[in-house]
Homo-oligomer: A and B are copies of this chain.
């Protein structure tokens, strides 16, 4: 029983790291199982298929993050005062950063995986995501709309997707960017630092005049 848990955990740990680094389809089950030091067949035994493994890797983070976000969004929506955009974004970011507590480099890994999910695969991940967490995201969009009452909804739609691109791409090339920043500007930047830099950029972009 404990060894089963151990094997599943080892597979998930290795898979999330490799998936984040090189993408879902470019990572083979053989790479995963050899890094996890388990048998090749154990992925199919414990998870059924590679597709289901991918979903399980994402679920580990999503099942923690999304209820937390939902709760924060609900709280903000209930408070009848005006929430400015920076505040909304900060409320979004805090639970994201807390993923670092549950797992080493958790925030970065999760965002990288999210990015892979958008660029790697065509169908099943986006469906999976919207189906499970569409309600929560709707609340976020509503909050942004309230904070920018002059912007039409379609403009907000586009700008939020632009912002998603910023976040996802930044995290996907996070390692390279950190190296360049260190070499060119003597800057040591961790994930918190990147996110702190992101917030004013995103807030200004989303709220930009048309």
Contact = CB atoms under 8 A, between A and B. Distances in A.
Interface of A: 22-23, 25-26, 115-116, 118-120, 122, 126, 153-155, 157-159, 161-170, 172-173, 176-177, 180-181, 184-185, 187, 194, 197-198, 200-210
Nearest to A202: B205
Given A26-B25, A165-B170, A159 B201 contact: yes
Given A154-B187, A185-B157, A118 B173 contact: yes
Q: By DSSP majority rule, is chain A's interface helix, strand, loop, or mixed? A: helix
A181 B157 contact: yes
A153 B163 CA distance: 22
Contacts of A197: 155, 158-159
B200 A204 contact: no
Contact of A170 (B22, B23, B162, B184): B162
